[in-house]
Amino acid sequence: MGKNSTFNILFLGDIIGRPGRLLVAKYVTEQLASSQPPDLVIANVENAAHGYGVTSKVMHELQTAGVGVFSGGNHTFDKKEIFEIMDRYPTLLRPANYPPGTPGRGTCVVDINGFKFGFLNLLGRVFMEPLQSPFHTADELLPGLISECDAVMVDMHAEATAEKVAMGMYLDGRVAAVVGTHTHVQTADERILQNGTAYITDVGCCGPVNSVIGMDPKTVFRRMVQQLPTRLSIASGPAQLNGVRIEIDRETKKATSITRVMVNDDAFVASDEED
Ligand SMILES: [Fe+2]
Ligand SMILES: [Fe+2]
């Protein structure tokens, strides 16, 4: 597939703290300099600052590395400075199905050399916060986005597998791609659905590999085994990057492929300080 006939997306799963950010910066820099560079790099950044939200420093780091769209989730609002950061980064999103009046935005449109690409961030409701239905929010927001854009992609940030599969099926044929995030574990079900939408239940995460979905096992054991209230801290050590590459045919506007990416890095990264 030639890079000119397709619009190529690299989507990276939840970036977790410094180990995740360093590996993402290295990988994205390499990919953008390669012979088949992605046209757009998107990442879920809800855990990028020491596991909780983003800071100015973190946003600057990731934007400098080449990330163009910053998706969110249930941790987007964890840092107090998020409101001011959202004003400065128009492609930093929070889930669109928060109540009316919530600061920030759940959609964005980027123009990459004349190709207009729309993005929608949704949050699931099963075992999560009781927000407005992500299905109804998609129905409300997608017609405008689809009419304005060459292609539209959705990040369905959700806990339950079935809710994400349902969203993929519900939007099949309406958008180019639906990807799931939040569980931090990559699923092996990537495929093009019957009506042409690229889909994966969970992209996974970019973060410390010797961890419980990014967190230091010692702190997790205190919470899960001893059942004591514990502030989780993120793990140190080598990191793994999880993502997907999606190709969209520039003529038909449909996805032609979705491919999982998993990269391991042996470098030890300490992550014992706040970002
Ligand atoms: Fe996450
Ligand atoms: Fe999450």
* 250 CB-side CA count, 13 A: 14
Q: Identify each DSSP E strand in the chain by its residue range.
A: 6-12, 14-15, 40-44, 69-71, 107-112, 115-123, 151-157, 177-181, 191-192, 198-200, 205-208, 237-249, 255-269
CA of 158 to the centre of ligand 1 (A): 9
| Alpha carbons 257 and 223: distance in angstroms, whole number | 41
Mean pLDDT (whole number) for 34-50: 97
Q: Which fold has domain 6-268?
A: Purple Acid Phosphatase; chain A, domain 2 (3.60.21)
Taking 80 as the threshold, does the pLDDT of residue 2 lie above it?
no
pLDDT digits (tens, 9 = 90+) for 120-174: 999 999 999 999 999 999 999 999 999 999 999 999 999 999 999 999 999 999 9
> pLDDT for 219-235, tens place per residue?
999 999 999 999 999 99
Provide, rounded to the nearest whole percent, the portion of the chain with pLDDT above 90: 95
Do the strands 237-249 and 205-208 form a parallel or antiparallel pair, or are they unpaired?
A: antiparallel
pLDDT at residue 4, rounded to an integer: 78
Distance 53 CA to ligand 2 centre (A): 10
Catalytic residue among 50, 75, 182, 184: 75
Q: For residue 270, name the pLDDT band (cuts at 50, 70, 90).
A: confident
pLDDT for residue 3 is more than 60: no
Whole-number pLDDT of residue 176: 98
217 alpha carbon to ligand 1 midpoint, in Å?
16
Contact, 234 vs 252, CB < 8 A? no
Please give the Cα distance from 18 to 48 (Å, whole number): 7
pTM exceeding 0.95:
yes
Q: What is the pLDDT of residue 1?
A: 42
Residue 271's pLDDT is what? 80
Q: Which residues contact 228 (CB under 8 A, 6 or more apart)?
A: 222
Question: What does DSSP say about strands 237-249 and 6-12: parallel, antiparallel, or unpaired?
Answer: antiparallel
Burial of 160 (0-12, 13-18, 19+ CB in 10 A): middle
The 8-class DSSP code of residue 195 comes to T
Q: Is 75 a catalytic residue?
A: yes
- To the nearest whole number, what is the mean pLDDT of the chain? 96
- What is the domain partition of the chain in residue ranges? 6-268
